[in-house]
Structure 1
Amino acid sequence: MNRRMVLYVLCLIMRVEAVLLVPPLVIALVQREEMAAFGFLVAIAALLGASLLTLLKKPRKKVFYAREGFIIVALAWFVVSVFGALPFWVSGAIPNFIDSLFETVSGFTTTGASILTDVEAVPMSLLYWRSFTHWLGGMGVLVFVLAIMPLAKNSGNTMHILRAESPGPQVDKLVPRMHNSAKILYAIYVGMTLLQIVLLLAGGMPVFESVTTAFGTAGTGGFSVLNDSMASFSPYLQSVVTVFMVLFGINFNIFFLVIMREYYKILRNEELWVYLGLLFGSIILITINVLPMFASVGESFHHAAFQVASIMTTTGFATVDFNMWPQLSRTILVILMVLGACAGSTGGGIKTARVVLLGKSFVRDVRKLLRPRSVALIKMNDRTVEEDTVRGVHSYLTAYILIALISVLLISINNFSLETTVTSVVSCMNNIGPGLDLVGPMGNYAAFSGFSKLVLSADMLIGRLEIFPMLMLLVPATWKAR
């Protein structure tokens, strides 16, 4: 393994994070939040100090392969989370470091699970940083670095990193050079975020709330700067957020195809239509189910659409306490937690693409029972899916179930209700935030023990990086020299 190159990239990421901490530092100085400003200064100094390691060991070869790509991604997310937690801890806004780490991991992984009981009491600069971690983590910390600077002359390096960090069963290039693909992805991401900010401002939302809400929506994270999430905003503002949550849950390749006017490829995209079908089908069912709880069909549809979009895209915003909804509606929402959004989006969950592939694989296997000698290929979007990809989906699902079961067992030590225990793990592994019962949309994770918060933090990282990059850290062979 090219250890020096791994260290080089990690130090580069630390320097980038130090720069990204400057805007909240400026906000802290302007707002005269002395302790918060001190916390940001400590974090910046620690990042710059640690990044000096590259001066001691410069890489001889700047080429690396899949193994290094997975390791860089896994370690990078851990590093940015640890250093990103320092402002919360040093400032005293979150006195316990494990709580600070939980909040920061939740931010970068776009989970939105929080231990804060009074969000509005937190200094503005820290709330900005808290929401900004969503925006950075949504597209991917490493994708951001790739977008602003190539890591090496070899374009294969960037492909290994993008493949390890991007959600979904496979990664496609938008253009031949991966560095340019990262730029295009971020251009679309920034453009959509700015458009949402403009529409929120047009609806009368204050500037700070518009920016942080757009960060939370774009990253499908769900951190709000208000205690009631989105409940106190107008129906117009809630509707804007609903639409953008749905949009950010779509594979970003679709938006690239729209720009290129290749509409025929969009019409043939099976994942997109399954995603929209599940979304609108769930909205209709929940609208009917919760109709007695609201004054009109329109109001019922409005809140059902918001919550379905929020849960399926794993954003986690809330307009009402869906913990009080009928069992059918809550069950649908839990199922949507697991299914998640599209591959290549900022959303979490298993991903619609994997669900489609699993369904096609199941049908093929049943047919082969009837005709054992037949050769049946799995196709998606008019393209044959390689057997390695299909096996990867099955391996992912197996690992997903095993990790979820182990996590539920470990979290059960807290002796909370089964609903709380299971949905907290499902919510964190799928990067959603709210669950049911104690961790419902109006609850939080403050009551969990420090050990449970570490387990759930690991679940958030495992879910965001889709299991394998994190598991590779535990395999001894990963660290052997070539």
Structure 2
Amino acid sequence: MNRRMILYLICIILRIEAVCMIPGLLISVYQNEAASVLGLGVGILLCALCSLSSFFFRVETKTIGAREGFLCVSLSWVAVSLFGALPFFVSGAIPNFVDCIFETVSGFTTTGASILTNVEAMPMGLLYWRSFTHWLGGMGVLVFLLAVVPMGRGKNSLLHVMRAESPGPQVDKLVPRLQNSAKILYAIYIALTLIQIVFLLAGGMPLFDSFCTAFGTAGTGGFGVRNDSMAGYSPYLQTVCTVFMALFGINFSIFYLLLLRQFSRVFRNEELRLYLLVMLSAIALITINTLPNFDGNVGEAFHHVAFTVSSIMTTTGFATVDFNLWPVFSKMLLVLLMIFGACAGSTGGGIKAARVALLFKAARRNIRRMLRPRSVSQVHMDGQLVDEDTIQGTYSYLTVYALIAAFSMLLIAVDEFSLETNVTAVMACLNNIGPGMDVVGPIGNYASFSNFSKLILSFDMLVGRLEIFPMLMLFVPAAWRRN
């Protein structure tokens, strides 16, 4: 196993994290926020010092295999979360280090679950860093590394890293060179983020709020800078977020195909069609069901329901209303949307529309085999044959997903919260959504959970963002052996 290459990549990532903290530090200096200047300054210093250790050992080969790719991704995410928590702890903004870890893991994994009871009391520099963790984690910290850092020889082997970090049942390069694929993804990501900022500024949103909101939307994270999330903003600004949340829940390869004017391939994309069908159907059903909650005002109901469905399905977690007060049917649909999630290859969470489509096709294939045992039946997606390894991988993913969810619910039950709270808290963290129901609803938070439960939920967030197996690889002894 190429351990030195793993350490080398982690050091580079810590160097990138130090650079990413600098804007927050500058904001803190401008706002005369002494505590956050100290916190971010210490964070930058420690990240930089640890990253410099890469100069003291020699990397003989830069080849990365599948095993190293999984370990590199999981260890990198743990490292950036621990170091990213330092500014909150050193500044005293969040005195409990477990809370700092929870908040930072929630940021990088784009979950948006928070322990803060008064967001507006947080210094602006730390609020910026908190929101920027969404943007950095949305596309992936290692994908960012592949896009901006020349890796020299062996860079094509880093496809294992990209596959371990990118969401979905299968990940392929957009173009033959891996680094060019990463650059294309980030170019699209940055362009959409900047376009949203322009639309938000046009609607009168303050500059700082616009950047933080765009970071939360682009990463489908949902950290806001106001205690009421998005409720206090105008309907226009809420609508802008509704549209962009839905856009960031789409596979980024779709945007690339649009740029290439390959419209026929876009229209034939089965996952995109399923994603839009589920979203529009959910909006229609919940709007009808919640009309009494909005005194029969169809326009107002449609506006808030569309925002909520877009937020929950893309696992962003912004809120304009307290959907805890909606009818049971609507809340049940929202929970199902939490699990369904966005598209593979997007910044959204959940089990992904591609997996759902694949499972239905595989189930139909199995039924046909039962009826005609001698027949040859295969599974196709977008006209392409899906290999059996991908199908078996999807089955394995869902099996382990269910086991982790059940075990996590059992562990956090020691805090004696309601069943609705425990179930939705785990599902919200495992699917990287943020708000759940009851205590952890859109107007609640996770502050009342014990440190033990927060660590369990933090692990669930990492497991959900990295799609289970890279994190589980840390606990497999065979993964650490040299041969």
TM, length-normalised to structure 2: 0.99
CA distance in structure 2 between the aligned counterparts of 1:419 and 1:438, rounded to whole angstroms: 9
Deviation at 1:155, TM superposition (A): 3.2
Conservation of the 8 A alpha-carbon contact between 1:151 and 1:157: no
Deviation at 1:173, TM superposition (A): 1.2
Deviation at 1:449, TM superposition (A): 0.1
Residue in structure 1 matched with residue 294 of structure 2 by the alignment: 294
CA distance in structure 2 between the aligned counterparts of 1:62 and 1:403, rounded to whole angstroms: 34
Residue in structure 2 matched with residue 246 of structure 1 by the alignment: 246
CA distance in structure 1 between the aligned counterparts of 2:228 and 2:292, rounded to whole angstroms: 23
Conservation of the 8 A alpha-carbon contact between 2:315 and 2:341: yes
1:179 aligns with 2:182: no
State the SS of the aligned residue for 1:170. Answer: coil
Deviation at 1:153, TM superposition (A): 2.0
Deviation at 1:179, TM superposition (A): 0.1
Deviation at 1:23, TM superposition (A): 0.7
Deviation at 1:52, TM superposition (A): 2.4
The CA deviation string for residues 274-298 of structure 1, in whole angstroms up to 9 with x for no partner, is 0000000000000000011114101
Q: Which runs of 4+ in 1 moved over 6 A?
A: none
Residue in structure 1 matched with residue 318 of structure 2 by the alignment: 317
Deviation at 1:62, TM superposition (A): 1.2
Residue in structure 1 matched with residue 458 of structure 2 by the alignment: 457
State the SS of the aligned residue for 1:21. Answer: helix
Residue in structure 2 matched with residue 328 of structure 1 by the alignment: 329
Residue in structure 2 matched with residue 393 of structure 1 by the alignment: 394
Amino acid at match of 2:467: E
Deviation at 1:349, TM superposition (A): 0.3
CA distance in structure 1 between the aligned counterparts of 2:160 and 2:148, rounded to whole angstroms: 17
Q: 1:252-401 alignment to 2 at 5 Å?
A: 252-295=252-295, 296-401=297-402
The CA deviation string for residues 141-168 of structure 1, in whole angstroms up to 9 with x for no partner, is 1111111013332232321111000000
- CA RMSD, Structure 1 to Structure 2 (Å): 0.7
State the SS of the aligned residue for 2:447. Answer: coil
Conservation of the 8 A alpha-carbon contact between 1:43 and 1:84: yes
The CA deviation string for residues 397-455 of structure 1, in whole angstroms up to 9 with x for no partner, is 00000000000000101010000000000000000000000000000000000000000
TM, length-normalised to structure 1: 0.99
Residue in structure 2 matched with residue 416 of structure 1 by the alignment: 417
Q: 1:4-15 alignment to 2 at 5 Å?
A: 4-15=4-15
Deviation at 1:53, TM superposition (A): 2.0
CA distance in structure 1 between the aligned counterparts of 2:299 and 2:350, rounded to whole angstroms: 29
**Count of aligned pairs between the two proteins:** 482
CA distance in structure 1 between the aligned counterparts of 2:9 and 2:202, rounded to whole angstroms: 41
CA distance in structure 1 between the aligned counterparts of 2:459 and 2:309, rounded to whole angstroms: 26
CA distance in structure 1 between the aligned counterparts of 2:224 and 2:181, rounded to whole angstroms: 31
Which of 337-346 and 144-153 deviates more? 144-153
Residue in structure 2 matched with residue 44 of structure 1 by the alignment: 44
CA distance in structure 2 between the aligned counterparts of 1:299 and 1:153, rounded to whole angstroms: 57
Residue in structure 2 matched with residue 191 of structure 1 by the alignment: 191
CA distance in structure 2 between the aligned counterparts of 1:55 and 1:342, rounded to whole angstroms: 40
CA distance in structure 2 between the aligned counterparts of 1:368 and 1:150, rounded to whole angstroms: 49
CA distance in structure 1 between the aligned counterparts of 2:150 and 2:401, rounded to whole angstroms: 33
The CA deviation string for residues 113-143 of structure 1, in whole angstroms up to 9 with x for no partner, is 0000000000000000000000000000111
Residue in structure 1 matched with residue 225 of structure 2 by the alignment: 225
Deviation at 1:305, TM superposition (A): 0.3
Deviation at 1:357, TM superposition (A): 0.3
Amino acid at match of 1:46: L
Conservation of the 8 A alpha-carbon contact between 2:64 and 2:158: no
Deviation at 1:365, TM superposition (A): 0.6
Amino acid at match of 2:481: K
CA distance in structure 1 between the aligned counterparts of 2:213 and 2:470, rounded to whole angstroms: 30
Task: State the percentage of identical aligned residues.
Answer: 64
Deviation at 1:49, TM superposition (A): 1.4
State the SS of the aligned residue for 2:205. Answer: coil
The CA deviation string for residues 250-289 of structure 1, in whole angstroms up to 9 with x for no partner, is 0000000000000010111000000000000000000000
Amino acid at match of 2:107: G
Residue in structure 2 matched with residue 110 of structure 1 by the alignment: 110
Deviation at 1:54, TM superposition (A): 1.4
Conservation of the 8 A alpha-carbon contact between 2:156 and 2:177: no
Deviation at 1:55, TM superposition (A): 2.3
Conservation of the 8 A alpha-carbon contact between 1:246 and 1:313: yes
The CA deviation string for residues 286-328 of structure 1, in whole angstroms up to 9 with x for no partner, is 0000011114101000011000000000000000000110000
Conservation of the 8 A alpha-carbon contact between 1:151 and 1:158: no
Conservation of the 8 A alpha-carbon contact between 1:131 and 1:215: yes
